[in-house]
Amino acid sequence: MPIVSATSAPSSGACRAAVLRASLGVALLVGSSGIAFGAASVAAGFSVAQSCALSLLAFSGASQFALIGVMGGGGGALSGIATAAFLGIRNGLYGMRMAPVLNVNGVRRIIAAQITIDESTGVAIAQEERGRQAMRWGFWFTGFGVFLFWNLFTLLGALGAQAMGNPASWGLDAAVPALFLAIVWPRLTNWVDRGLALTAMAASLLLTPIIPAGLPIISTAIIAIAVGVWKK
């Protein structure tokens, strides 16, 4: 049986440093996109304070963009909230996956719920081969990092857009669909997914002149559910 020396095995400190580097890289990259949210939010008619409050309290990029996109396009608050809530359902599924790994209670459980997002869950799961402790580091480092940078850049983007005078004239409303496209496109890995995306897009465009703003996006969930049942 080969003998592995203590020096050949990666130390806990080295492992933590590696996870920290990965977490900070993701946090800075994702968090910096908060500047687009801040600018788009002000362009949609929200104040700087409202934009920052959304990032602090909601802290779910896709849901936040959906909310300001619907309301900025003339939709009501209920339509915007419903659309954002549909997109936020996935965070609850992430919570179910991470709960046995984190094993936290009380205030820490509330904090963990707030930073349970795509990135914190993704980095945590990527550390699975390194052990449960590395997964916890990945979750907390990434979650707090994204939260810090996202809120900081939201403020900078909102202040910058406000200083422009009329943000709408700069075409910042295009940031919402552009970011959604950037998020969705890499995940369309097969023709079924691509066909579903195109069908949903076409249905949404056809329904836009007929039903109130926000509802076309919500209605496409029926198409996604139908395809999901068919694939089974």
What is the C-alpha to C-alpha distance for residues 113 and 92, in angstroms, rounded to an integer?
9
Q: In 3-state terms, what secondary structure has residue 128?
A: helix
> For 132-186, how does the pLDDT look when each residue is reduced to its tens digit (9 = 90+)?
999 999 999 999 999 999 999 999 999 988 887 666 566 655 655 666 666 567 6
What is the C-alpha to C-alpha distance for residues 180 and 160, in angstroms, rounded to an integer?
22
Evaluate whether residue 62 is within a structural domain.
yes
Closest-CA residue to 46 (of 32, 58, 29) = 58
Evaluate whether residue 195 is within a structural domain.
yes
Which of 173, 197, 222 corresponds to the end of one domain?
173
Evaluate whether residue 6 is within a structural domain.
no
User: 133 and 207: one domain?
Assistant: no
The answer to whether residues 173 and 72 touch, using CB atoms and an 8 Å cutoff, is yes
**Tokens 């709960």 identify what position?**
99
Q: In 3-state terms, what secondary structure has residue 5?
A: coil
Domain extent at residue 209: 188-232
Closest-CA residue to 24 (of 127, 116, 138, 108) = 138
Evaluate whether residue 3 is within a structural domain.
no
Evaluate whether residue 76 is within a structural domain.
yes
User: 93 and 169: one domain?
Assistant: yes
User: 197 and 169: one domain?
Assistant: no
**pLDDT confidence of 232, banded at 50, 70, 90?**
low
Q: In 3-state terms, what secondary structure has residue 149?
A: helix
The answer to whether residues 27 and 149 touch, using CB atoms and an 8 Å cutoff, is yes
pTM: 0.74
User: 169 and 192: one domain?
Assistant: no
User: 112 and 199: one domain?
Assistant: no
Structure tokens at 25: 């890289």
DSSP secondary-structure letter at 104? -
Instruction: Please report the beta strands in the chain, taking only residues with DSSP state E, as ranges in sequence order.
Output: none
Evaluate whether residue 1 is within a structural domain.
no
Q: What's the domain count of the chain?
A: 2
Evaluate whether residue 180 is within a structural domain.
no
User: 27 and 120: one domain?
Assistant: yes
Structure tokens at 152: 């900081």
The answer to whether residues 65 and 211 touch, using CB atoms and an 8 Å cutoff, is no
User: 35 and 83: one domain?
Assistant: yes
User: 105 and 131: one domain?
Assistant: yes
User: 34 and 100: one domain?
Assistant: yes
What is the C-alpha to C-alpha distance for residues 100 and 133, in angstroms, rounded to an integer?
12
State yes or no: pLDDT of 77 exceeds 90: no
> For 79-121, how does the pLDDT look when each residue is reduced to its tens digit (9 = 90+)?
888 878 887 888 998 999 999 999 999 999 999 999 999 899 9
What is the C-alpha to C-alpha distance for residues 69 and 175, in angstroms, rounded to an integer?
10
User: 125 and 201: one domain?
Assistant: no
> For 41-66, how does the pLDDT look when each residue is reduced to its tens digit (9 = 90+)?
988 889 999 999 999 999 998 889 88
User: 61 and 166: one domain?
Assistant: yes
What is the C-alpha to C-alpha distance for residues 136 and 19, in angstroms, rounded to an integer?
10
User: 35 and 100: one domain?
Assistant: yes
Greater model confidence, 164 or 208: 208
Evaluate whether residue 95 is within a structural domain.
yes
